[in-house]
Amino acid sequence: MPRPIRARIDLAALRNNHAVARRHAGHARIWSVVKADAYGHGLLRTVRALEGVADGFALVELEGALALRQAGVRQPILLLEGCYAPDELPLLAEHGLIPVLHRPEQVAWLSCVALPVPLPVYLKLNTGMNRLGFEAAELRAALAALQRIEGVGDITLMTHFSDADEERGIAEQMASLAAMRRDLPYPLCLANSAALLRFPEAIGDWVRPGIMLYGSSPFPQHSAAALGLAPVMTLESELIAVRELAAGDRVGYGGTYVAPAPMRIGVVACGYGDGYPRHAPSGTPVLVDGRRTVSVGRVSMDKLCIDLSGLPAAGAGSPVVLWGRGLSADEVAAAAGTISYELFCALAPRVPVVEEDLGQG
Ligand SMILES: Cc1ncc(COP(=O)(O)O)c(C=O)c1O
């Protein structure tokens, strides 16, 4: 018997979520964001599941992009951090990979290399995130330089929002973008999931949803289900032991949980070595036999403990859901003081993955 932990990846749910993005995007085309191994869901399986409906795929890893081309994926591919050295540019042109240019040196690199075919480029503008992107004062010079370079194809302007999911919203960044752009005629690519769902004015020509495709909500105050999104990843395992505690018994490393009264606990084969967050405190929600309970004590590498009070039928072998179908990853992440993006990306290589096609898609 293998260890009972596994991650189920529901490909129909992925397509359902892409259809939700499509409804919000209207006429804009959709870059499906698949960086970080498709947010931990598996790059190739995610791309294959979306191939029939996606307009293009966006990621940061050149090796991932090349692996997609090697696997025969023909849709446009956008490299969100562009390239890191000039000698990558011919490879990009050869494989039809579109770089995001975010600093003047990257434009200069383009003028030093001979490209086999014209290379479309995205020009990223810093409108307030202050991470990557050209400043207003650099933009005209960059465009003038790009227009002089023979190997440069179509230009698209892009920016990224820092607060599309927060109260602050995108108004200041949109104003900054308008001031930078003025009458420039280039297409626009602006919206992440939160902006796509919340700000129709930010839709532009291309959108870049990530987290919503995987069935999570970008907003703390709106559940994924209320947005029509279905969970793609379900992390599940089983109870491998149960134990009766007396009042005052301590649980796990450091004894951070002390039984307030006699109680039964279960031990789940899942720990931080599987990607479950070690910092999830006692009280983090868990499903056993489809019923909700909570974790108790510190998460260890291979195990975590849960409260079985009120669940007398639960025993060794009972199925446990850590997040996914029936228990939103957003809720688990919030209890652990993080976001579902981090939970998904942390899924450990030792967890076997089972592909399914069960969602609403
Ligand atoms: C440049 C860029 N665009 C789009 C996205 C997708 O964002 P989200 O997953 O919040 O939809 C990301 C993700 O961090 C990003 O870095």
> Apex CA 182: angle with CA 193 and CA 142, to 5°?
85
Pairing of strands 77-79, 291-296: unpaired
Atom of ligand 1 nearest to the CA of 196: 11
Which residues approach ligand 1 with their CB closer than 6 A? 33, 80, 160, 192-194, 208-211, 218
pLDDT one-digit tens code per residue, 39-98: 999 999 999 999 999 999 999 999 999 999 999 999 999 999 999 999 999 999 999 999
Residue 117 is predicted with a pLDDT of: 87
pTM to 2 decimal places: 0.96
Residue 241 is predicted with a pLDDT of: 98
Pairing of strands 119-124, 233-245: unpaired
Span from the CA of 313 to the centroid of ligand 1 (angstroms):
43
Span from the CA of 135 to the centroid of ligand 1 (angstroms):
20
Q: Which of 36, 10, 128 is nearest to 342 (CA)?
A: 36
From residue 211, how far is each of 92, 154, 220 by CA, in Å?
Answer: 26, 28, 13
Torsion, CA 212, CA 214, CA 216, CA 218, rounded to 10:
-30
Residue 231 is predicted with a pLDDT of: 98
Atom of ligand 1 nearest to the CA of 80: 1
> Apex CA 300: angle with CA 299 and CA 305, to 5°?
50
Span from the CA of 126 to the centroid of ligand 1 (angstroms):
15
d(CA 24, CA 6): 33
Helical pair 136-148 and 171-181, crossing angle rounded to 10 deg? 50
From residue 117, how far is each of 150, 187, 225 by CA, in Å?
Answer: 10, 21, 45
Q: Which of 126, 180, 183, 122 is nearest to 152 (CA)?
A: 122
Nearest CA to ligand 1 atom 8: 210
Residue 342 is predicted with a pLDDT of: 98
Atom of ligand 1 nearest to the CA of 209: 11
Atom of ligand 1 nearest to the CA of 35: 13
Span from the CA of 151 to the centroid of ligand 1 (angstroms):
28
Residue 361 is predicted with a pLDDT of: 41
Q: Is 253 marked active-site?
A: yes
Residue 359 is predicted with a pLDDT of: 56
Regions of the chain short of the pLDDT cut 50: 361
d(CA 30, CA 102): 21
Residue 116 is predicted with a pLDDT of: 80
Pocket test for ligand 1, best of 24, 29, 32, 33 (most atoms within 8 A of CB): 33
Q: Is 257 marked active-site?
A: no
Q: Which of 29, 22, 7 is nearest to 228 (CA)?
A: 22
